[in-house]
Amino acid sequence: MTTTRREFLQTTSGALAGLAFVGCELMAAAPARAQARRREVVVSGKRVKTVDVHAHCAVPEALALMNLKLGGPLYRPDLSMATEVSTRLRAMDEQGIDVEALSINPNWYTADRDLARQIIKLQNEKLAEACAANPERFVAFATVALQYPDLAAEQLEEGVKKYGLRGAGIGGSVNGAEISDPKFHPFWAKAEQLGVVVFIHPQGTGAPTDLQNRLKGNGYLDNVIGNPLETTIALSHLIFEGTLDKFPGLRICAAHAGGFLPSYAGRSDHGCFTRPDRCAGGPYGPIKKKPSEYLKQMYYDTMVFTPEAVRHLAAEVGASQLLVGTDYPYPWTKTAVDLILNTSGVSDDDRVAMLGATAMKLLGIKA
Ligand SMILES: [Zn+2]
């Protein structure tokens, strides 16, 4: 029997499909092995506990109160801690992440006071439950209704004292208001008083909204540029409006390495030399330090993707201010730990600090 070319191709593709099938079966068996083989990060011969400060989750019951549900690229199903925690733990094991500090991106800033109260209570309870279920692997930032600053202060206190949460996660702006606006002082005062970290994560309703026409087109620019821009603006106002002078004990941690701010810090300083008339001061008078000095008192995740960018960030703000961030479950990186291990120009002590030691101190994580 002669084999036609067509038959040959069919047979071959059938055989390849068979191979692919075997391949999938092998892959399906892989997770169990990966789970057993948790990556342990070692620096200078010592096991280092690693902490990821930028890890998202969501509470489906709280989303429902805002008429939202899990599904699609934004509200990814794996944001759920109730149903997808094994997937998350597997990813953490594979990537060498020992502890995640969970946060929920605010989508409730337009909610009225009663609804906001319900959403926050539900979320903070569920965050506490998720941490209690795997206390070695998770801590969490409380959610707060920052559109009602007095309520947000109460929610932060309750989150920390009643639920054991380690700080608060907030957006880079609140319904168009800058977080440096004096109306937010009750919240900042409470955060300073409790000595807890405030994790600032940009929102799609911030700078990307104002610039939406210019951030259209190819390239995912509303996030790639819009998100770090939102953080850049938020931090700049905290500096220039004097919020960081008014509350010098604040522990701010900014997502995405503080946006563009630490990569162009010199410009923040030189603006006031160039136009002192535009730098007369904010609500509390002139700021007390050089703008770039404030950058060295805030904390940042290391989501900058190249060792050279981490080296530069450390040079600008200090390695002591940097913390690992992955943005899980959004697939920006799976090599956040390697990024730190591969950064040159920093010491092994710096690497240990960035990988987890600093976050453990800030978030009260036991060794
Ligand atoms: Zn994020």
Q: Please tell me whether residues 166 and 208 are part of one structural domain.
A: yes
Q: What residues does 322 pair with on adjacent strands?
A: 300
How close is the Cα of 106 to the center of ligand 1, in Å? 11
How close is the Cα of 270 to the center of ligand 1, in Å? 31
The alpha carbon of residue 43 and the mean position of all alpha carbons in its chain are separated, in whole angstroms, by 24
Q: Please tell me whether residues 2 and 114 are part of one structural domain.
A: no
Q: Please tell me whether residues 262 and 344 are part of one structural domain.
A: yes
How close is the Cα of 105 to the center of ligand 1, in Å? 8
How close is the Cα of 13 to the center of ligand 1, in Å? 42
Q: How confident is the model over 130-153, as a mean pLDDT?
A: 98
Q: How far apart are CA 162 and CA 172, in angstroms?
A: 26
Q: 79 — phi, psi (to 5°)?
A: -75, -20
Q: Please tell me whether residues 250 and 230 are part of one structural domain.
A: yes
The CATH code of the domain that includes 158 is 3.20.20.140
pLDDT tens for each residue of 310-338: 999 999 999 999 999 999 999 999 999 99
Q: Would you place residue 23 in the very low, low, confident or very high pLDDT band (cuts 50, 70, 90)? A: very low
Q: Please tell me whether residues 165 and 265 are part of one structural domain.
A: yes
Q: What is the pTM of this model?
A: 0.89
Provide the residues around ligand 1 (an ion) whose CB is within 5 A.
327
Q: Please tell me whether residues 33 and 52 are part of one structural domain.
A: no
Q: Please tell me whether residues 114 and 141 are part of one structural domain.
A: yes
**pLDDT (0 to 100) of residue 165:** 98
Q: How far apart are CA 45 and CA 359, in angstroms?
A: 21
Q: Spell out where the chain has E strands.
A: 42-43, 46-47, 51-56, 99-103, 138-140, 142-143, 167-170, 173-174, 177-178, 197-200, 251-254, 299-301, 322-323
Residue type, 256: H
pLDDT tens for each residue of 42-73: 999 999 999 999 999 999 999 999 999 999 99
Q: Please tell me whether residues 129 and 27 are part of one structural domain.
A: no
How close is the Cα of 201 to the center of ligand 1, in Å? 6
**pLDDT (0 to 100) of residue 34:** 43
Q: Please tell me whether residues 33 and 49 are part of one structural domain.
A: no
- Containing domain of residue 5, as a range? 1-37
Q: Please tell me whether residues 8 and 113 are part of one structural domain.
A: no
Mean pLDDT (the chain, rounded): 91
Number of domains observed in the structure of the chain: 2
Q: Please tell me whether residues 51 and 31 are part of one structural domain.
A: no
**pLDDT (0 to 100) of residue 250:** 98
Q: How far apart are CA 352 and CA 357, in angstroms?
A: 6
Q: Please tell me whether residues 164 and 29 are part of one structural domain.
A: no
How close is the Cα of 209 to the center of ligand 1, in Å? 17
